[in-house]
Structure 1
Amino acid sequence: MRAGFLVRGLATAALLLGTTFSAHAEDALARVKAAGSLKVGTETAFAPFDFIDAGEHAGLNVDVFAEIGKELGVTIEWVALPWEGVLPGLEAGKFDMVAGPATITKARMERYRFTPPVAEATVAILKKAGDTTITKPEDIAGKAIGVGKATAQLAQLTAYSETLPTKVDVREYPAFTESYADLAAGRIAGVANSLPNIAFVASQRKDTFEVVLPPFGQKSYFGFIGTKDADHAPLMVAIDAALLKMKGDGRLAEMQKKWFGASFDTPDSVPDPAF
């Protein structure tokens, strides 16, 4: 009798152990495919990548991830929150990856896993239309310039300010939309953001804004973000493959033209960012 209990007990333990090993063996890609959806965190105030248009989530990221979903055979589940909460949310496991996108920097690469670039991220200044006091980047010396909180653009603006005869009065905003509103109202003299972003904003409001060229700072690129752990590696490799396939067959370039008015010649990877 006791032997029977022992056999049944060992069988039950083996079954539980096998289930545990199976659960651990299922990586992030397998879980995403099993669930039928990829959960993506982003903010929706970073046009033309992510924004709300007539109540609908729109932008380059929406189009790109729709294609990634097709390649992986899953739907996309969006999780929107302020930018300063996006990366902590990724680390807390609230979603599978981040759309953002984010500028690929040395510091971020130490902590996160980036996809191939989806656009350039070089920084430029947006000013009010007709403002003759800012005709080149160095003219922002001593002026109030808006920039997004916890962004690579903030780091670039701060570094550039140190090279000017008078430091920039840096004003940090939780969302770039708020900085554009303050610029339009004359409360600040300009906004520092990536050239694709401000070019889009200026094209939408030609009577209100102008782009100051050339850009300043070092050439950089935007990429999507995932975690660096082994569990998520197969998922990130699959997403990389989807993006490179879209780049190769022209889908990515068409989406860039749709949202930026031009396509970008981006590298397949950025192993050594400029900053």
Structure 2
Amino acid sequence: MFTRLFATAAITAAMITGPALAKDSYTVALDGTFAPHAMPKLDGGIEGFNVDLANEIGKRLGAEMNIVATQFSGILPGLQAGTYDFVVAPTTITEERANNLLFSEGYLNTDFQFVVKAGTPEITDLKEFNGKVIAVNKGSAYDSWARELADEIGWTVESFGSNTDAVQAVISGRAFANVAGNTVSAWAAKKNPNIETSFLYSTGKVWGMPFRKEDTELRDTVENVIECMKIDGTIAAMHEKWFGMPPAEGSVALTPLPGHGQPGFDGYAEDGHTPSC
């Protein structure tokens, strides 16, 4: 009888205190050199769009966000190993990644933008990069994409530990161009007069937040927060703050998507939920 009463009390307490996934803090990861999404502050620490995004998610969950800044190439393996609860680095949702990880719905559209030395003649077609060296951030979607096209385009791909290093390779002449997300490339060109944006490759891809495959409840909880941030204009305000322009009408920065996860990819749940803000 005592055992039964104890078990009942424990279940009741669990119901009152909330789901087991609720935590006082989460350890999350991003690339701290991926400006303007995350970058060092002059007085220490990091700042950027994804830093603000992570902290706002923590605020709305009532949890502290322990943000770890590290090289992108080690972030997804670290997530799989249990080092991080989830990833707040801009991560392109791809079929390969979705087969191994669980993604939130997209929160930013991402196209691929090339950066070249200032004064370089205009590039209007990928084939004009034939014979050129393209610098990329190691382990990023731009790395794998550029390597997949190496034989077709005829370029050589060089990988670097950070996108900052990849841009520096262009400035120093070690590479002809760097390719990264359009927001990152625009920021780099804005801050450095030695380089300028060049060819824009439209991808139709989006950035989402990766979780471990088994962490469906945590993914859904965080995604609900992201949806509310879209609805109340928080993500749009962050977009203007860090990118200097509002998000495009109809973009995922403004539009909550049906279900949980990114439609069309493994892990998507068409569960008919509506945002509860």
Any idea what SS the aligned residue of 1:93 has?
A: coil
Choose between structure 1 and 2: higher helix proportion: 1
- Shift of residue 223 of structure 1? 1.1
Q: If the length of structure 2 is used for normalisation, what is the TM-score?
A: 0.81
Higher relative contact order (CA 8 A, sep 6+): 1
The match for 1:244 is 227
The match for 1:210 is 196
Matches within 5 A, 1:186-225: 186-205=173-192, 207-213=193-199, 215-216=200-201, 218-225=203-210
- Checking the alignment, whether the CA contact within 8 Å between 2:49 and 2:242 is kept in structure 1 is yes
- Shift of residue 31 of structure 1? 5.6
Matches within 5 A, 1:81-230: 81-132=70-121, 134=123, 136-164=125-153, 167-205=154-192, 207-213=193-199, 215-216=200-201, 218-229=203-214
Aligned counterparts of 2:228 and 2:61: Cα–Cα separation in 1: 12
For residue 192 of structure 1, what is the amino acid of its counterpart?
Answer: V
For residue 163 of structure 1, what is the amino acid of its counterpart?
Answer: E
- Shift of residue 170 of structure 1? 0.8
Aligned counterparts of 1:186 and 1:175: Cα–Cα separation in 2: 17
- Checking the alignment, whether the CA contact within 8 Å between 2:104 and 2:210 is kept in structure 1 is yes
- Checking the alignment, whether the CA contact within 8 Å between 1:141 and 1:161 is kept in structure 2 is no
Aligned counterparts of 2:67 and 2:156: Cα–Cα separation in 1: 35
Aligned counterparts of 2:205 and 2:125: Cα–Cα separation in 1: 20
Aligned counterparts of 1:234 and 1:126: Cα–Cα separation in 2: 40
Structure 2 portions without partners, runs of 5+: 266-277
Any idea what SS the aligned residue of 1:95 has?
A: coil
- RMSD over aligned Cα, in angstroms? 2.6
Per-residue CA shift, 1:87-131, capped at 9, x if unaligned?
111111112101112100011111111112121222121101111
Aligned counterparts of 2:82 and 2:191: Cα–Cα separation in 1: 36
- Checking the alignment, whether the CA contact within 8 Å between 2:30 and 2:75 is kept in structure 1 is yes
How high is the sequence identity, in percent, across the aligned residues? 27
- Shift of residue 236 of structure 1? 1.2
The change in CA–CA distance for 1:138 and 1:258 in structure 2 (over 3 A counts) is farther
The match for 1:43 is 31
- Checking the alignment, whether the CA contact within 8 Å between 1:44 and 1:80 is kept in structure 2 is yes
Any idea what SS the aligned residue of 2:188 has?
A: helix
How many residues align? The count is: 249
- Checking the alignment, whether the CA contact within 8 Å between 2:122 and 2:198 is kept in structure 1 is no
Q: If the length of structure 1 is used for normalisation, what is the TM-score?
A: 0.82
The match for 1:53 is 41
- Checking the alignment, whether the CA contact within 8 Å between 2:104 and 2:262 is kept in structure 1 is no
- Shift of residue 243 of structure 1? 0.2
The change in CA–CA distance for 1:194 and 1:56 in structure 2 (over 3 A counts) is same
Any idea what SS the aligned residue of 1:121 has?
A: strand
Aligned counterparts of 1:270 and 1:37: Cα–Cα separation in 2: 26
Is it true that 1:253 corresponds to 2:251 in the alignment? Answer: no
- Checking the alignment, whether the CA contact within 8 Å between 2:21 and 2:217 is kept in structure 1 is no
